[in-house]
Chains A and B, each alone.
Chain A
């Protein structure tokens, strides 16, 4: 049989030293071998140097007692390990970064929108802010804020109180009212859960109704109002029926609630000394109610100001003011207990000066009270009853039940050389957070602006044509579309903020790098500490970008 098919030569075999595929593989193997050899050389040097300097190689040093203090953060003491210290630093880094990211998002969006505002002045201010701050190194901004502003605040005695609010700014930081949960809090939380479930059901029903009738229902307002109503009911119900708090007072004083203390407080004012300093009889007689007391103080302030502008000597009046201020009630109790916070905050809100004498334990506090050092002893009713039963004369004291709301406002107040109570932000944290937000917001604002400009004008015109107002246009039409453009660059800004928080080391905020630096100096384990730095920051970065990539996928335009 004759074959008709053409004769095909087998392809010429390329020798392997000219085959580009094989050459590529060999080149890569050589490259990798060179890299590995380089690493091996570095590591052998390290091992030799470590042996010479007596450094250990593993991570066992993390179990050694640290022996240094950290100014703020989660529970830690100098007897804890290096590992714990680094963990405290990591938590501090995460804390400042998370808060920074939230605040940067808000300010970035606001400034970005402001720069595009119709109002020429608003655009001018936003533009000026962006152009000035983003062309200056973050470290200079941080130093200026920390050394030039925060540390230049007045001392504790002359704390700045903006608008007379219970917020105190001074060299030691910022004190502000905080919230403390009490025994009723879990019950109130149950009300919140209930309200959430109710609102969700309501939302579903209304959505169905909307679909059926084709008429739009304002689900948002209904949801918010019903949620607030249920939560408010829960607040009052819990507040009036659930309380374990009480205060112990001398029976002779006839006290049934906090208000009764006003008269006791007024008695404490040293009227003799005031009379000696030449305060008029008329003024002295006025001091029979809290409002009059405040009035007298204001009058004194006014007189002192008047004297100062006229060049007179206000020393006597200042002495009088001091005497007025020094009158106070003393509250005893356990340190940081709800009883003390509740009693002192409520007395302060009644206009009474309060001095807190807190002890580590209730027994000590009650001993203090028995000595007659305190006007009242605050604590739980059972604690107080137990303490009363061991007094010499239990009948001389009564335990008055006190109602507490699910959360107690913890109001700060100046006391001696310090500000007592309330939440507190350290100067370092305040400076770092403010600096990071101030700096990163400029970039965030530019991203938001670019995102909004990327939404075509027709969309806005269409929204206006449909009769949406400016807020609705921005919220429902422009921002959702701008989001797609905004998120990817915003992700890298969030990462930058997190990484820039490491500049905390320059102003001694105990973040990971700052604590790690101390660990490095104390233990000498430079390589391990820097490996920990890098792995931690890498993990945080990867977490943030993973989350935002997920979110980005959710909002991304679905393309065919």
Chain B
């Protein structure tokens, strides 16, 4: 007689499993189907790419090699090498040889250094090898197309007539537009007679930079001159600005005034970026310190009292609502409004009182009534929440409206103010990050040795905090350098705006790609170099290594 226990222990029942349809689908059906599909797609794309590139035409290159139309032996060899069919066959052959070498190595269990590398990084399995083939062909032909356009088929003549005549032989890029307008790209409409002043300014900056590089490298004999260099840097700003602008009011002579509307090109880009970052630094620093301020705040009672006084003053000076007001949402709903909201005088008054007192209550409750902190948080978050272009519009359009009509402001000045206001908020956040990274013990130690608040900040905290954020500050400067291109939208002739005017020249119509590629290259060089310098500084200072 079988008991329940026996049934439970029956080995036949233990093997029983519910029908695993999902698992079967995944392993046996989808797994296979997926792999086959993947293989078909990869092989198919490879075949398509091979076929397309095999039929690609040879690259036009005759002009640059020989102006008389006879391309010579070297030219013929290069022409043959850039033939689509030849290149494709070459790539295929290389790929097959590589695959063969790897397979041979695997079969013999002998994988020397390069073959091991080939197996690990190019022939990782069946799909990996196919991907490699696809990417190889893609890279080879992208490079070929780029060279055909930018080098072999390009025309470097700065004479527009010559370019027009030779258009059939050199169908690629026309780099003459860059060469012919080099001065515009560099300094804009800055007068020829005064360009030497730009050179002098540049020389000052280069000399100072070189000296600084020496002075701040380890074990330098120039170490004792570091403070002097700092003073020199500080003095160099007004001196270069004076050099660039000239003596105000003089129209002739070597130091004649060059108004800022004549500044342009790369010069203007650099001026805006440098002024922006240097002048926004003190503001950013103050904002960061303000945001971290832990000073005792204004008590809630004072706040509420101030709020009530403000409301009373506001109402007494004519702000009191005298009639009911109707609000609607004309933005979303069209006129006539679908859902108008009418507020009586009393409702309106209450709303105003609640709004003012409510905000003050929030400040008192969450920020302990710290008004400076409130202001700094409000400023930083407001600026960081809006795009730079709106800040520039604001500086450009609103500054004249918000200042007395007697004050006339220069366009460049307005934009620089906008850039400073913008960059200060971002700098403040970077500096705050640095301040947060300083352990509390440093503050306490500074206090213990009897330093005052300002002394401990100046001598203990800031040197460490700023050192920690130097990479972030360089990153910020790179961002600002790129963002200066936006000033072209508000009418300043920076590098990008100059590019647009150059494209519109009747001699060089329709050369957008060449011009934009050129200025993209300029921006790229400088940003890349600055990023490299930042990494170097990071290493020299040992940031992040304690």
Query: A residues engaging B (CB < 8 A)?
Result: 20-21, 24-25, 27-29, 31-32, 35, 42-43, 45-46, 48-50, 52, 62-63, 80-81, 83-84, 86-87, 90, 118-122, 125, 131-132, 135-141, 143-144, 147-148, 152, 206, 209, 213, 215-222, 225, 495, 499-500, 502-503, 505-506, 513, 517, 520, 526-527, 530, 533-534, 537-538, 541-542
Give the distance in Å from the alpha carbon of A140 to the alpha carbon of B484 in the complex: 11
**Residues of A contacting B397 with CB < 8 Å?**
520, 526, 530
Are B496 and A139 in touch, CB under 8 angstroms? Answer: yes
**Residues of B contacting A49 with CB < 8 Å?**
400-402, 405
Nearest residue in B to A218 (C-beta to C-beta)? Answer: B22
**Residues of A contacting B531 with CB < 8 Å?**
135
Are A140 and B485 in touch, CB under 8 angstroms? Answer: yes
Are A119 and B132 in touch, CB under 8 angstroms? Answer: yes
**Residues of B contacting A48 with CB < 8 Å?**
404-405
Known: A84-B330, A143-B496, A513-B390. A225 touches B513 (CB 8 A): no
Does any Cβ of A come within 8 Å of B440's Cβ? no
Known: A122-B135, A148-B516, A217-B23. A137 touches B483 (CB 8 A): yes
Query: B residues engaging A (CB < 8 A)?
Result: 17-18, 20-23, 25-26, 30, 120-122, 124, 128, 131-132, 135-136, 139, 295-299, 302, 330-332, 334-335, 370-372, 375, 382, 385-390, 393-394, 397-398, 400-405, 478, 482-483, 485-486, 488-489, 496, 499-500, 503, 512-513, 516-517, 519-520, 523-524, 527-528, 531
**Residues of A contacting B523 with CB < 8 Å?**
135-137, 140
**Residues of A contacting B17 with CB < 8 Å?**
213, 215
Known: A137-B496, A213-B18, A221-B30. A503 touches B389 (CB 8 A): yes
**Residues of B contacting A63 with CB < 8 Å?**
330, 335
Nearest residue in A to B25 (C-beta to C-beta)? Answer: A221
Q: Which of B22, B26, B136, B513 is packed against the most chain A CB atoms within 10 Å?
A: B22
Give the distance in Å from the alpha carbon of A43 to the alpha carbon of B23 in the complex: 72
23 chain-A/chain-B pairs, Cβ below 8 angstroms: A27-B295, A28-B298, A45-B403, A46-B401, A48-B404, A49-B400, A62-B330, A84-B331, A119-B122, A121-B122, A122-B131, A136-B523, A137-B482, A147-B503, A148-B513, A215-B18, A217-B20, A499-B386, A505-B389, A505-B489, A520-B397, A534-B390, A534-B394
Are B386 and A24 in touch, CB under 8 angstroms? Answer: no
* Given A25-B296, A25-B302, 18 additional A-B pairs, CB 8 A: A20-B296, A24-B295, A25-B299, A28-B370, A29-B302, A81-B334, A84-B335, A119-B122, A119-B131, A119-B132, A121-B122, A140-B485, A140-B496, A143-B499, A144-B517, A218-B23, A502-B389, A530-B393
Give the distance in Å from the alpha carbon of A139 to the alpha carbon of B483 in the complex: 8
Nearest residue in B to A139 (C-beta to C-beta)? Answer: B485
**Residues of B contacting A136 with CB < 8 Å?**
482, 520, 523-524, 527
Are A28 and B385 in touch, CB under 8 angstroms? Answer: no
Is the contact region of chain B dominated by helix, strand, or loop, or is it mixed? Answer: helix
Partner of B401, one of A28, A50, A152: A50
Are A118 and B298 in touch, CB under 8 angstroms? Answer: no
Partner of A118, one of B124, B139, B496: B124
Are A221 and B330 in touch, CB under 8 angstroms? Answer: no
Known: A63-B335, A503-B486. A28 touches B387 (CB 8 A): no
**Residues of B contacting A24 with CB < 8 Å?**
295-297
**Residues of A contacting B370 with CB < 8 Å?**
28
Are B135 and A121 in touch, CB under 8 angstroms? Answer: yes
Are A144 and B513 in touch, CB under 8 angstroms? Answer: yes
Give the distance in Å from the alpha carbon of A530 to the alpha carbon of B496 in the complex: 25
Are B372 and A513 in touch, CB under 8 angstroms? Answer: no
Q: Which of B330, B483, B489 is packed against the most chain A CB atoms within 10 Å?
A: B330
Shortest distance between the CB of B378 and any CB in chain A (Å): 10
Partner of A28, one of B120, B295, B400: B295
**Residues of A contacting B375 with CB < 8 Å?**
31-32, 35
Shortest distance between the CB of A471 and any CB in chain B (Å): 10
6 tightest A-B CB contacts, nearest first: A218-B22, A120-B121, A83-B330, A135-B527, A499-B387, A137-B482
Known: A63-B330, A118-B120. A513 touches B389 (CB 8 A): yes
Are B128 and A119 in touch, CB under 8 angstroms? Answer: yes
**Residues of A contacting B401 with CB < 8 Å?**
45-46, 49-50, 526-527
Are B527 and A46 in touch, CB under 8 angstroms? Answer: no
Are A135 and B122 in touch, CB under 8 angstroms? Answer: no
Are B25 and A222 in touch, CB under 8 angstroms? Answer: yes
Are A538 and B382 in touch, CB under 8 angstroms? Answer: yes
Are B25 and A506 in touch, CB under 8 angstroms? Answer: no
Known: A148-B513, A222-B21. A29 touches B298 (CB 8 A): yes
Shortest distance between the CB of A520 and any CB in chain B (Å): 7
